[in-house]
Chain A
């Protein structure tokens, strides 16, 4: 169902639909597996500890990817300023929307004037 991993191909509309459906089915299967199938049992502490770290690794990885890469290149551009502003907002415990809008505005401003 999942196509071979090919570099740098923008997805077609129908491929995007396949992604939407397969991802939705997988996400639901994981929810059901936890809530209905395994439900209430305790898991080995090692497994618990490792699974708990997935979001930290992946979210930080996504921040790095979306700020400092473009296709297969390492780049520093207007998005870096956006991220810097976002990090200050996160650090000041600003609401989610303030973090996002501040980052977008900073990025747009740099693009407009640079």
Chain B
């Protein structure tokens, strides 16, 4: 095994990165199917589900917005929770810029190219890009992951939303796709003690506040869980 990796050529390395990125794209397409189904079951039209995937292009925020809409929450509440979840793409952007914003000679890439790349700064591209040790492989990982995800995410959403609009979503349990999807997204954020404390706080806040404040607002208050980051 160590022999193989020490002998691996740049071409083989590149192929490995491309394969991994395409495989991830396929898996994400399946997630997109469930987003399309869930969005339609929450009351969005097929086109609205597709527009979210094309323009917003950040899964957790899309699921969050539709979850609040489906529960009868206001536009502000649906927006607030989804926007807070999107803040992590800001953090990812700061981290990725050091690896991707310059070309191999260290020159800054044209602004237009950086503005296009920004749309693809999400969980999966960040994970794949930061896993690579050389700038060249990092760039390959970013762009192949970005494009394969963009295609499968949008295609999956369209198929899921079309299927959802023909089915009895309540009887088939499609509303249960939401909590299951959020639960499946959680583990990477629970690796630290403060991550676990933040998660428990978020859940407790929601259960405690729900009877007393408008739909969707407990989600916004749940962000107080970040207080566990204050102490070093």
Chain A residues engaging chain B, CB cutoff 8 angstroms: 2-11, 13, 15-24, 26-28, 30-36, 38-41, 43, 45-46, 48-74, 78-79, 82-83, 86-87, 89-90, 95-97, 99-100, 102-109, 111-112
Contact = CB atoms under 8 A, between A and B. Distances in A.
A61 B179 contact: no
A24 B90 contact: no
Dominant secondary structure at the B interface: helix
Contacts, number: 361
Dominant secondary structure at the A interface: helix
A2 to B, nearest CB: 5
Given A61-B225, A100-B31, 7 more contacts: A2-B75, A3-B76, A34-B93, A36-B114, A56-B196, A72-B213, A73-B210
B121 A8 contact: no
B30 interface: yes
B138 to A, nearest CB: 14
B87 A65 contact: no
Interface in B81-121: 81-94, 96-98, 100-101, 111, 114-115, 117-119, 121
B84, B117, B181, B219 interface centre (most CB from chain A within 10 Å): B181
A8 B226 CA distance: 27
Contact of B194 (A11, A35, A53): A53
Contacts of B204: 64
B91 A51 contact: yes
Contacts of A51: 87-88, 90-91, 226, 229
Contact of A62 (B27, B94, B201, B219): B219
Contact of B90 (A13, A22, A30, A57): A30
Contacts of A58: 60, 64, 81, 84-85, 202, 219, 222-223, 225
18 contacts: A6-B214, A11-B75, A11-B78, A19-B69, A26-B79, A35-B101, A36-B97, A38-B94, A40-B101, A41-B94, A45-B232, A51-B229, A59-B189, A64-B206, A96-B181, A103-B177, A104-B172, A104-B176
Contacts of A95: 27, 30
Given A5-B77, A20-B55, A82 B189 contact: no
Contacts of B4: none
B83 A23 contact: yes
B218 interface: yes
Contacts of A41: 94
B177 A111 contact: no
B184 interface: yes
B82, B118, B200 interface centre (most CB from chain A within 10 Å): B118
Contacts of B170: 111
A63, A67, A89, A103 interface centre (most CB from chain B within 10 Å): A63
Contacts of A32: 93, 115, 118
Contacts of A8: 72, 214-215
A69 B209 CA distance: 10
